[in-house]
Amino acid sequence: AKSEVRFRDERRLFGFIVNTLRAALAGSDLATPGTRLIETAERRELAARHEATLYPRSAGGVTREVREPFAVFDASPNEPARVPLPTLAPVETGGPVSGPFLQLARTYLVRPLLDGFEVVDQHALHERITYEGLVADLRAGRVEVQRYLVPELVEKSRAEVALVAGQAELLKRVGVEIAEFSETTLAVHGLPARLPRPNVRALVDDLIALLDDARAPSSEDLLESVLHRAACRSSVMAGDELSTEEMRSLFERGARLESDQTCVHGRPTRVRFTLADLEKAFQRR
Protein backbone atom coordinates (compact mmCIF):
# COMPACT_ATOMS: atom_id res chain seq x y z
CA ALA A 1 0.00 0.00 0.00
CA LYS A 2 3.02 2.29 0.10
CA SER A 3 3.19 5.04 -2.52
CA GLU A 4 6.93 5.48 -2.04
CA VAL A 5 9.71 3.01 -1.27
CA ARG A 6 13.42 3.33 -0.59
CA PHE A 7 16.24 1.09 -1.77
CA ARG A 8 19.06 0.07 0.53
CA ASP A 9 21.74 0.62 -2.14
CA GLU A 10 20.35 3.29 -4.49
CA ARG A 11 23.65 4.02 -6.23
CA ARG A 12 24.18 0.38 -7.19
CA LEU A 13 20.61 0.04 -8.48
CA PHE A 14 20.86 3.29 -10.42
CA GLY A 15 24.10 2.17 -12.07
CA PHE A 16 22.55 -1.17 -13.02
CA ILE A 17 19.53 0.49 -14.62
CA VAL A 18 21.61 3.04 -16.52
CA ASN A 19 24.02 0.42 -17.86
CA THR A 20 21.13 -1.85 -18.90
CA LEU A 21 19.35 0.97 -20.73
CA ARG A 22 22.60 2.08 -22.36
CA ALA A 23 23.29 -1.43 -23.65
CA ALA A 24 19.74 -1.80 -24.98
CA LEU A 25 19.85 1.55 -26.79
CA ALA A 26 23.29 0.84 -28.25
CA GLY A 27 21.91 -2.29 -29.90
CA SER A 28 18.79 -0.59 -31.25
CA ASP A 29 18.23 1.06 -34.61
CA LEU A 30 16.67 4.43 -33.79
CA ALA A 31 16.77 5.83 -37.31
CA THR A 32 13.38 6.95 -38.61
CA PRO A 33 12.29 4.39 -41.23
CA GLY A 34 11.48 5.75 -44.65
CA THR A 35 8.38 3.55 -44.81
CA ARG A 36 6.74 5.64 -42.11
CA LEU A 37 7.35 8.85 -44.05
CA ILE A 38 6.07 7.34 -47.28
CA GLU A 39 2.86 6.16 -45.61
CA THR A 40 2.36 9.60 -44.05
CA ALA A 41 2.82 11.25 -47.45
CA GLU A 42 0.31 8.84 -48.99
CA ARG A 43 -2.29 9.66 -46.32
CA ARG A 44 -1.79 13.38 -46.89
CA GLU A 45 -2.15 12.96 -50.64
CA LEU A 46 -5.40 11.02 -50.21
CA ALA A 47 -6.73 13.67 -47.84
CA ALA A 48 -5.81 16.42 -50.31
CA ARG A 49 -7.58 14.60 -53.13
CA HIS A 50 -10.66 14.12 -50.96
CA GLU A 51 -10.67 17.81 -50.07
CA ALA A 52 -10.31 18.76 -53.74
CA THR A 53 -13.33 16.60 -54.55
CA LEU A 54 -15.44 18.24 -51.87
CA TYR A 55 -14.29 21.78 -52.64
CA PRO A 56 -13.36 21.97 -56.34
CA ARG A 57 -11.57 25.07 -57.57
CA SER A 58 -13.39 27.50 -59.81
CA ALA A 59 -12.22 27.99 -63.38
CA GLY A 60 -10.50 31.20 -62.38
CA GLY A 61 -8.75 29.75 -59.39
CA VAL A 62 -5.78 31.46 -57.82
CA THR A 63 -2.40 30.36 -59.13
CA ARG A 64 0.06 29.79 -56.33
CA GLU A 65 3.79 30.24 -56.65
CA VAL A 66 5.62 26.93 -56.53
CA ARG A 67 9.07 27.06 -54.94
CA GLU A 68 11.75 24.42 -54.87
CA PRO A 69 11.75 22.67 -51.47
CA PHE A 70 15.53 22.47 -51.39
CA ALA A 71 18.71 23.12 -53.30
CA VAL A 72 21.50 20.62 -53.80
CA PHE A 73 25.07 21.43 -52.90
CA ASP A 74 27.78 19.00 -53.97
CA ALA A 75 30.92 20.73 -52.76
CA SER A 76 34.22 19.95 -54.41
CA PRO A 77 36.80 18.03 -52.34
CA ASN A 78 39.30 20.77 -53.17
CA GLU A 79 37.10 23.44 -51.63
CA PRO A 80 38.63 24.92 -48.44
CA ALA A 81 36.86 23.82 -45.26
CA ARG A 82 34.92 26.49 -43.37
CA VAL A 83 34.13 24.39 -40.32
CA PRO A 84 36.97 22.83 -38.31
CA LEU A 85 36.00 19.15 -38.44
CA PRO A 86 39.14 17.00 -38.31
CA THR A 87 39.08 14.17 -40.82
CA LEU A 88 39.48 10.70 -39.32
CA ALA A 89 40.44 7.45 -40.98
CA PRO A 90 37.43 5.39 -42.08
CA VAL A 91 36.17 2.93 -39.51
CA GLU A 92 34.38 -0.33 -40.13
CA THR A 93 30.93 -0.38 -38.51
CA GLY A 94 27.63 -1.53 -39.96
CA GLY A 95 28.88 -0.53 -43.43
CA PRO A 96 31.68 1.44 -45.03
CA VAL A 97 31.61 5.22 -44.69
CA SER A 98 31.75 6.00 -48.37
CA GLY A 99 30.33 8.55 -50.76
CA PRO A 100 29.26 10.19 -52.85
CA PHE A 101 27.77 12.67 -50.38
CA LEU A 102 25.16 15.32 -51.09
CA GLN A 103 24.06 18.28 -49.01
CA LEU A 104 20.45 19.42 -49.29
CA ALA A 105 19.41 22.96 -48.36
CA ARG A 106 22.69 23.29 -46.40
CA THR A 107 20.99 21.26 -43.65
CA TYR A 108 20.68 17.59 -44.60
CA LEU A 109 23.37 15.17 -45.72
CA VAL A 110 22.65 12.21 -47.99
CA ARG A 111 24.82 9.14 -48.42
CA PRO A 112 24.26 5.73 -50.03
CA LEU A 113 24.02 2.52 -48.00
CA LEU A 114 24.38 -1.09 -49.07
CA ASP A 115 20.59 -1.52 -49.05
CA GLY A 116 19.39 2.04 -49.76
CA PHE A 117 20.36 5.48 -48.50
CA GLU A 118 20.01 7.74 -45.47
CA VAL A 119 19.36 11.43 -44.89
CA VAL A 120 21.14 12.95 -41.88
CA ASP A 121 20.49 16.18 -40.01
CA GLN A 122 23.97 17.74 -39.96
CA HIS A 123 23.37 19.77 -36.80
CA ALA A 124 21.88 16.87 -34.85
CA LEU A 125 24.75 14.55 -35.76
CA HIS A 126 27.51 17.08 -35.02
CA GLU A 127 25.80 17.99 -31.74
CA ARG A 128 25.91 14.35 -30.62
CA ILE A 129 29.56 14.03 -31.66
CA THR A 130 30.57 17.17 -29.78
CA TYR A 131 28.63 16.25 -26.65
CA GLU A 132 30.04 12.72 -26.43
CA GLY A 133 33.56 14.11 -26.80
CA LEU A 134 32.99 16.60 -23.98
CA VAL A 135 31.55 13.90 -21.71
CA ALA A 136 34.49 11.59 -22.42
CA ASP A 137 36.95 14.37 -21.56
CA LEU A 138 35.09 15.14 -18.33
CA ARG A 139 35.01 11.51 -17.21
CA ALA A 140 38.70 11.13 -17.97
CA GLY A 141 39.50 14.32 -16.05
CA ARG A 142 41.37 15.83 -18.99
CA VAL A 143 39.25 18.66 -20.40
CA GLU A 144 41.57 20.66 -22.65
CA VAL A 145 40.92 24.40 -22.52
CA GLN A 146 41.45 26.94 -25.27
CA ARG A 147 42.44 30.05 -23.37
CA TYR A 148 42.04 33.50 -24.87
CA LEU A 149 44.93 35.95 -25.03
CA VAL A 150 42.38 38.66 -24.27
CA PRO A 151 39.36 37.56 -22.21
CA GLU A 152 35.92 37.95 -23.73
CA LEU A 153 33.98 40.47 -21.64
CA VAL A 154 30.22 40.08 -21.27
CA GLU A 155 28.08 42.76 -19.62
CA LYS A 156 25.41 41.46 -17.24
CA SER A 157 23.48 42.58 -14.19
CA ARG A 158 25.10 42.54 -10.75
CA ALA A 159 22.96 39.59 -9.68
CA GLU A 160 23.84 37.60 -12.80
CA VAL A 161 27.55 38.26 -12.43
CA ALA A 162 27.48 37.16 -8.79
CA LEU A 163 25.46 34.05 -9.73
CA VAL A 164 27.96 32.85 -12.34
CA ALA A 165 31.06 33.87 -10.41
CA GLY A 166 29.83 31.86 -7.43
CA GLN A 167 29.98 28.67 -9.52
CA ALA A 168 33.33 29.41 -11.22
CA GLU A 169 35.12 26.42 -9.67
CA LEU A 170 32.37 24.01 -10.68
CA LEU A 171 32.26 25.35 -14.25
CA LYS A 172 36.03 25.00 -14.50
CA ARG A 173 35.57 21.21 -14.33
CA VAL A 174 34.02 21.27 -17.81
CA GLY A 175 36.57 23.69 -19.23
CA VAL A 176 34.57 26.90 -18.78
CA GLU A 177 36.98 29.41 -17.22
CA ILE A 178 34.93 32.44 -16.26
CA ALA A 179 35.36 35.05 -13.53
CA GLU A 180 34.01 38.35 -12.28
CA PHE A 181 35.72 41.26 -14.04
CA SER A 182 33.61 43.96 -12.39
CA GLU A 183 30.27 44.13 -10.63
CA THR A 184 28.49 44.14 -14.00
CA THR A 185 30.99 42.30 -16.21
CA LEU A 186 32.01 38.68 -16.61
CA ALA A 187 35.36 37.74 -18.15
CA VAL A 188 35.52 34.50 -20.11
CA HIS A 189 39.16 33.38 -20.07
CA GLY A 190 38.74 30.05 -21.83
CA LEU A 191 36.36 27.40 -23.12
CA PRO A 192 36.73 23.70 -23.95
CA ALA A 193 39.09 23.29 -26.92
CA ARG A 194 36.77 20.61 -28.31
CA LEU A 195 34.19 23.29 -29.14
CA PRO A 196 34.96 24.19 -32.79
CA ARG A 197 33.31 27.62 -32.82
CA PRO A 198 31.85 28.62 -29.47
CA ASN A 199 29.36 31.47 -29.20
CA VAL A 200 30.67 33.02 -25.99
CA ARG A 201 27.82 35.42 -25.27
CA ALA A 202 25.14 32.85 -26.00
CA LEU A 203 26.92 30.33 -23.78
CA VAL A 204 27.05 32.84 -20.90
CA ASP A 205 23.31 33.44 -21.31
CA ASP A 206 22.78 29.68 -21.12
CA LEU A 207 24.86 29.43 -17.95
CA ILE A 208 22.83 32.16 -16.28
CA ALA A 209 19.56 30.49 -17.24
CA LEU A 210 20.75 27.13 -15.89
CA LEU A 211 22.09 28.57 -12.63
CA ASP A 212 18.95 30.63 -12.12
CA ASP A 213 16.78 27.54 -12.33
CA ALA A 214 14.57 27.50 -9.27
CA ARG A 215 14.95 23.73 -8.96
CA ALA A 216 18.58 24.17 -7.89
CA PRO A 217 20.06 21.19 -9.78
CA SER A 218 22.89 19.16 -8.35
CA SER A 219 26.43 19.84 -9.50
CA GLU A 220 26.43 16.79 -11.79
CA ASP A 221 23.10 17.77 -13.36
CA LEU A 222 24.39 21.29 -13.89
CA LEU A 223 27.57 20.08 -15.58
CA GLU A 224 25.57 17.81 -17.87
CA SER A 225 23.26 20.68 -18.81
CA VAL A 226 26.25 22.94 -19.51
CA LEU A 227 27.69 20.31 -21.84
CA HIS A 228 24.33 19.98 -23.60
CA ARG A 229 24.14 23.71 -24.27
CA ALA A 230 27.80 24.01 -25.24
CA ALA A 231 27.52 21.15 -27.75
CA CYS A 232 24.40 22.65 -29.30
CA ARG A 233 25.78 26.17 -29.55
CA SER A 234 29.09 25.17 -31.13
CA SER A 235 27.94 22.58 -33.66
CA VAL A 236 27.35 23.19 -37.34
CA MET A 237 23.94 24.71 -37.93
CA ALA A 238 21.24 24.44 -40.53
CA GLY A 239 22.40 26.72 -43.32
CA ASP A 240 26.11 25.95 -43.00
CA GLU A 241 27.56 24.72 -46.28
CA LEU A 242 29.95 21.79 -45.86
CA SER A 243 32.62 20.48 -48.18
CA THR A 244 32.76 16.83 -49.19
CA GLU A 245 35.56 16.15 -46.69
CA GLU A 246 33.61 17.84 -43.90
CA MET A 247 30.61 15.65 -44.64
CA ARG A 248 32.81 12.55 -44.68
CA SER A 249 34.38 13.59 -41.37
CA LEU A 250 30.97 13.89 -39.71
CA PHE A 251 29.92 10.42 -40.82
CA GLU A 252 33.22 8.84 -39.77
CA ARG A 253 33.30 10.52 -36.36
CA GLY A 254 29.68 9.54 -35.76
CA ALA A 255 30.50 5.91 -36.63
CA ARG A 256 33.08 5.87 -33.82
CA LEU A 257 30.41 6.58 -31.18
CA GLU A 258 28.54 3.96 -29.21
CA SER A 259 25.37 5.44 -30.73
CA ASP A 260 24.98 8.42 -33.05
CA GLN A 261 21.30 7.96 -33.86
CA THR A 262 19.90 10.81 -31.73
CA CYS A 263 21.01 14.30 -30.76
CA VAL A 264 21.34 15.31 -27.12
CA HIS A 265 17.71 16.52 -27.14
CA GLY A 266 16.46 13.11 -28.29
CA ARG A 267 15.70 14.01 -31.90
CA PRO A 268 16.68 11.40 -34.50
CA THR A 269 19.82 12.26 -36.47
CA ARG A 270 18.82 10.28 -39.56
CA VAL A 271 16.04 8.95 -41.74
CA ARG A 272 16.84 5.70 -43.54
CA PHE A 273 15.30 4.51 -46.81
CA THR A 274 15.74 0.91 -47.91
CA LEU A 275 15.46 -0.36 -51.47
CA ALA A 276 12.09 -1.81 -50.44
CA ASP A 277 10.95 1.70 -49.45
CA LEU A 278 11.94 3.02 -52.86
CA GLU A 279 10.17 0.18 -54.64
CA LYS A 280 7.03 0.95 -52.68
CA ALA A 281 7.28 4.69 -53.38
CA PHE A 282 7.63 4.05 -57.12
CA GLN A 283 4.88 1.37 -57.02
CA ARG A 284 7.21 -1.42 -58.10
CA ARG A 285 5.78 -3.68 -55.38
* pLDDT values of the chain reduced to their tens digit, one per residue, 285 residues: 677 788 888 888 888 888 888 777 766 666 666 666 666 666 666 666 666 666 665 544 444 443 333 333 343 444 444 464 433 333 334 445 777 999 999 999 999 988 889 999 999 999 999 999 999 998 888 889 999 999 999 999 999 999 999 999 989 998 999 999 999 999 999 999 988 778 899 999 999 998 887 555 567 778 888 888 899 888 999 999 999 999 999 999 998 988 888 888 888 898 888 888 888 888 887
| pLDDT value, residue 168 | 92
Supply the pTM of this predicted model. 0.69
pLDDT value for 247: 94
Dihedral sign, Cα of residue 224, residue 230, residue 233, residue 236 = negative
Q: Give yes or no for a contact between 194 and 130, defined as CB atoms under 8 angstroms apart.
A: yes
Sign of CA dihedral 82, 84, 90, 95: negative
- Residue 278: C-alpha distances to residues 35, 37, 150, 152, 157 (Å): 9, 12, 55, 51, 57
Q: Which helix (H) or strand (E) holds 145?
A: strand 145-155
At 266 the pLDDT is 84
Q: How many Å apart are CA 70 and CA 104, to the nearest integer? A: 6
